Chain A
Amino acid sequence: EPEVTQTPSHQVTQMGQEVILRCVPISNHLYFYWYRQILGQKVEFLVSFYNNEISEKSEIFDDQFSVERPDGSNFTLKIRSTKLEDSAMYFCASTPRASQGSETQYFGPGTRLLVL
């Protein structure tokens, strides 16, 4: 069964450094998402992406964040100048198409980011 994959599974970085989190969505999916989950807290939406552009973003997704689909398979989240509070689990998700009722968002296994 096709699944969303994410790399790396864990990343440790120093405050102020840039990190790139990578995702490979399910191949026939068109909408892509990033969410984050700070330890012990609920999952929060960051951004959705369709047709090579951001379709929706939350207030968390400020100028330090960016997303890109550099080729036909990868979907990346870049965090510039990481802060301690960026430490979280970052989930990528994808769905075949949007707003068609029961189009479930399928999540990847997550990347656990630790900023020191």
Chain B
Amino acid sequence: AQKITQTQPGMFVQEKEAVTLDCTYDTSDPSYGLFWYKQPSSGEMIFLIYQGSYDQQNATEGRYSLNFQKARKSANLVISASQLGDSAMYFCAMREGIQGGSEKLVFGKGTKLTVNP
């Protein structure tokens, strides 16, 4: 079974509008962390936002927020006021056992976001 599922291969959004990128995850570990990374066409991986499984509030970082629904095992990324520079691949990733377990990140297949002017 896939640990991280991103069901949207591609998404389009108009500049200045908000967009939600979906991510669901599968783990039986009660302690885990969820990450979103942005990969522009140049190829680098840029960290955007983190949500811990025990965090009570949804994470926010500037225009990025994470809609964390633990019971549904979803961690959707919301980008507000989209900009042309937001056009990129977006990857959701998980690290299980954050309190003493594996250190590896497991990535989803990504969503390609295109922001239209």
**A residues adjacent to B (C-beta < 8 A):** 31, 33, 35, 41-45, 48, 55-56, 58, 89, 91, 93, 95, 98-102, 104-110, 112
- Give the contact-size bracket for chain B: 20 to 34
Q: Shortest Cβ distance from B63 into chain A, in angstroms? A: 18
CB-based contact B104/A56 at 8 Å: yes
Instruction: Give the CA-CA distance A35 to B110 in the complex, in Å.
Output: 15
| 8 Å CB interface, B8-58 against A | 33, 35, 37, 42-47, 50, 52
Chain A interface mostly: strand
Instruction: Give the CA-CA distance A95 to B72 in the complex, in Å.
Output: 29
Contact among B33, B45, B107 with A101 in the assembled complex (CB-CB below 8 Å): B33
Instruction: Give the CA-CA distance A102 to B54 in the complex, in Å.
Output: 11
Given known A43-B91, A43-B107, contact A110–B44 (CB-CB < 8 A)? yes
**B residues adjacent to A (C-beta < 8 A):** 33, 35, 37, 42-47, 50, 52, 91, 93, 97-110
CB-based contact B103/A55 at 8 Å: yes
CB-based contact B44/A104 at 8 Å: no
Given known A106-B47, A107-B44, A110-B43, contact A99–B100 (CB-CB < 8 A)? yes
Contact among B37, B42, B104 with A107 in the assembled complex (CB-CB below 8 Å): B37
Q: Shortest Cβ distance from B59 into chain A, in angstroms? A: 9
